[in-house]
Amino acid sequence: MAAGSSNYWEDLRKQARQLENELDLKLVSFSKLCTSYSGTRDGRRDRYSSDTTPLLNGSSQDRMFETMAVEIEQLLGKLTGINDKMAEYTNSAGVPSLNAALMHTLQRHRDILQDYTHEFHKTKANFLAIRERENLLGSVRKDIESYKSGSGVNNRRTELFLKEHEHLRNSDRLIEETISIAMATKENMTSQRGMLKSIQSKMNTLANRFPAVNSLIQRINLRKRRDSFILGGIIGICTILLLLYAFH
């Protein structure tokens, strides 16, 4: 019965790690898609300046975004279900010491799920913001081009619009670079946190595995202190006796 329960727990952990690896790869591809979206939209807009060309033009990136978002949400749902099953197992486990170790493992998987969920929602929100901004800028550019081609009047105003549009694009590039730096920093901090958690887990495992060693070390220290007190008392008595003998 215990062997069957252990196999069930290991199978759940194996499924959780597999889903976590798939989510990690999917989120990396999802992030790359979002960061490359703006540049691709700019290149397509330069190639298609005709008014008859739709803004999105059946963008394959938009379809890819929707597909990947659905896949990631499904993986997150599956991983949530696995974590729930692991939680049910830990609540039903009978050995308290084993249950503590299982709870530590479960908490680690929950932290990973929370990080992946937060990263997915953040990347998705950034992508939607970029797409909304690109649609707005594309509409402005289309209006400017239409006005410029429809009449040769107010060239000065048209130039101002174009300059303002260029300023906005430069600002967008700076914002994207800042976002990229922030994401790289987050990845480094996540990696460091994982390393610290691994070290802490190993230390806790050693402490739980060798409690008798700690008790033995404490007893040795107590005996060393007692022996030191006894030896100090003997030396003091001998010194007093020698002084008494010397003065008599």
Query: What distance in Å separates the CA atoms of residue 139 and residue 2, rounded to the nearest whole number?
Result: 66
3-state SS class at 215: helix
pLDDT band at 207 (very low <50, low <70, confident <90, very high): low
* pLDDT of res. 54: 39
Which conformational region is residue 54 in: left (phi greater than 0), alpha (psi within -120 to 50 degrees), or beta? beta
Q: Which of 5-19, 51-65, 175-189 has the lowest mean pLDDT?
A: 51-65
> Which tokens go with 140?
């402005």
DSSP secondary structure code for residue 51 in this structure: T
What is the per-residue pLDDT across 54-67, written as a single tens digit (0 to 9) for each?
344 436 777 888 88
